[in-house]
Chains A and B, each alone.
Chain A
Amino acid sequence: MRDVGAVRLWRDRAATSSASSGGNTLADLLVRAGRGDASAFAELYDELAGLVHGVVIKVVRDPAQSEEVTQEVFVELWRLAARYDESLGTVKAWATTVAHRRAVDRVRSEQSTRDRHDREIRNVVIDYDEVSESVETRFDTARVRRAMDRLSPIQRESVDLAYYGGHTYREVAVLIGVAEGTVKTRIRDGLIRLRDELGGSQ
């Protein structure tokens, strides 16, 4: 396969940012895991566990349930290992995507079995500040925090409620009382800004 454009960009990033124990890249470990190598998968787990669990716990909140979801995510990564396609992004991005999707599925299926009116909407708004704080206590936050600070407060609120709150953009629109189209635009503008900020400082 020839490296062109975005593909090369992500592959380079995978090579530079994902170097792991023994000189293996995450992609190497994943390829080996895809062939049934459980010890390679164990190494991969060590590299990705913090990332995956960090995403899951911020969405799911409950520690016991978060552990369950993190476990499900890794079993899913094991099952799908042979289907990882490098041209569609780095291993970290893939793991983050699987983790977030699982976490959101968990909270949505819980929500749908529960009454979710005024009380919960208030809780969500309160929780979201808490999330932003916990983000800032971790290592390597400076670059991300700088990028987050470049978002307008309303962009940040929409992105946070969607990503960490696990809400659809339509639900976010109801939560903050603006039109759906407005939320869609804020989310899009916010992510583009984050992408430009984080991409530019590599």
Chain B
Amino acid sequence: MSEIDIHHLGAAYALDALDARERAAFEAHYHECDICRDDVIQFRETLADIAGSAAVEPPASVKDRVMAEVARTRQLSPLLPEGVIDLAERRRRRRRFLAPALTAAAAAIVVVGASIIVTRDSQPAYADELAAVLAQPDGQIVTLADTRAGAEDGSFKVAWSATEGRLVLLGDALSVAPNDHAYELWLIDESGAHATYILDSASDGDVRAAIDLASQPTAWGITIEPEAGSPTPTGDVIFLGEV
């Protein structure tokens, strides 16, 4: 997708009229493009004005159900401003997580994915990676389905391109993993499930990673594992997306 194309997707984006692939590409772009961001902000106000002129009150029972649900629903923490996160602490934590995990994964014969570039302190890097992956003719993106019955807890998307040899993992609005546990991404191919991205507790609700891709997936899965990582899945597969 060329740069010129992407600048013209703001209106269709505001209308939710992009397919998943274009939506992801535009989202990666517009956070860094003042013109597109202003366009989207203004179009959304316009649509809210139009929607406001056609309000329809729901039955009172809906409010009762909402408030009952609210009473038992945990709220996500606010996003921290950039720079507030203690980078040294983050690095220390990552090293601690990563070392045993990689050793364990190597022992299990196949290691898919070595370099990990993560999260808020490298947001632009991830956005560029996503745009690069989706710009390839074989660039794909899948939304992983939540496999827990009735669960309503965040979302995972994986974008990847064999040509680019990279995958980008986007987790949003997730619950924080239980103590000493973290989300783990598995690339599933004909030879089995391979630990691909290890260890993000989603303490800020989000998971962002760009990782080398070493094999063609037939499916992607997410489990929650002990924070040291597991060479093979031990937790239930909570998100699954087939290619």
**Chain A residue nearest to B175 in the complex (CB):** A79
| Shortest Cβ gap from B114 to chain A (Å) | 32
Contacting residue for B56 out of A54, A148, A199, CB 8 A: A54
Which chain A residues border B54 with CB–CB below 8 Å?
54, 58, 134-135, 138, 141, 144
Given known pairs A53-B55, A188-B11, the reply for A144 and B50 (CB within 8 Å) is yes
Q: Which of A93, A100, A167 is most buried by chain B, counting CB atoms within 10 A of its CB?
A: A93
Interface size class of A (residues with CB under 8 A): 35 or more
- Verify A80–B76 contact, CB threshold 8 A: yes
CA distance A126 to B160 in the complex (A): 39
**Chain A residue nearest to B74 in the complex (CB):** A79
- Verify B67–A89 contact, CB threshold 8 A: no
Interfacial residues of chain A within 152-188, with CB under 8 A of chain B in the complex: 159, 162-163, 166-170, 172, 184-185, 187-188
B96 at the interface (CB under 8 A from A): no
- Verify B51–A192 contact, CB threshold 8 A: no
Which chain A residues border B42 with CB–CB below 8 Å?
6, 195, 199
CA distance A54 to B49 in the complex (A): 12
**Chain B residue nearest to A59 in the complex (CB):** B16
CA distance A94 to B47 in the complex (A): 10
- Verify A51–B55 contact, CB threshold 8 A: yes
- Verify A51–B58 contact, CB threshold 8 A: no
**Chain B residue nearest to A191 in the complex (CB):** B11
CA distance A50 to B58 in the complex (A): 7
Which chain A residues border B69 with CB–CB below 8 Å?
71, 75
What per-residue 1/0 map shows which CB atoms of B22-52 lie under 8 Å from chain A? Answer: 0000000000000000100111111111111
- Verify B48–A194 contact, CB threshold 8 A: no
What per-residue 1/0 map shows which CB atoms of A49-82 lie under 8 Å from chain B? Answer: 1111111011000000011001110110011111
Contacting residue for B62 out of A54, A67, A139, CB 8 A: A67
CA distance A71 to B66 in the complex (A): 6
B19 at the interface (CB under 8 A from A): yes
Interfacial residues of chain A within 124-153, with CB under 8 A of chain B in the complex: 134-135, 138-141, 143-145, 147-148
| Shortest Cβ gap from A114 to chain B (Å) | 17
- Verify B43–A49 contact, CB threshold 8 A: no
A32 at the interface (CB under 8 A from B): no
Interface size class of B (residues with CB under 8 A): 35 or more
CA distance A75 to B47 in the complex (A): 22
Given known pairs A6-B42, A187-B17, the reply for A49 and B58 (CB within 8 Å) is yes
A83 at the interface (CB under 8 A from B): yes
CA distance A147 to B54 in the complex (A): 14
Which chain A residues border B17 with CB–CB below 8 Å?
162-163, 167-169, 172, 187
Which chain A residues border B45 with CB–CB below 8 Å?
10, 13, 89-90, 92-93, 195, 199
Besides A78-B70, A188-B8, 8 other A-B contacts (C-beta < 8 A):
A50-B58, A53-B55, A82-B77, A135-B53, A162-B15, A166-B16, A187-B15, A198-B46
| Chain A contact residues, CB within 8 Å of chain B | 6, 10, 13, 34, 36, 38, 41-42, 45-46, 49-55, 57-58, 66-67, 70-72, 74-75, 78-83, 88-90, 92-97, 99-101, 104, 134-135, 138-141, 143-145, 147-148, 159, 162-163, 166-170, 172, 184-185, 187-188, 190-192, 194-195, 198-199
19 contacts between A and B (CB under 8 A): A6-B41, A13-B45, A42-B63, A45-B67, A67-B62, A71-B65, A75-B73, A82-B78, A83-B76, A83-B78, A83-B205, A90-B48, A138-B53, A138-B54, A163-B15, A168-B12, A170-B19, A184-B11, A198-B50
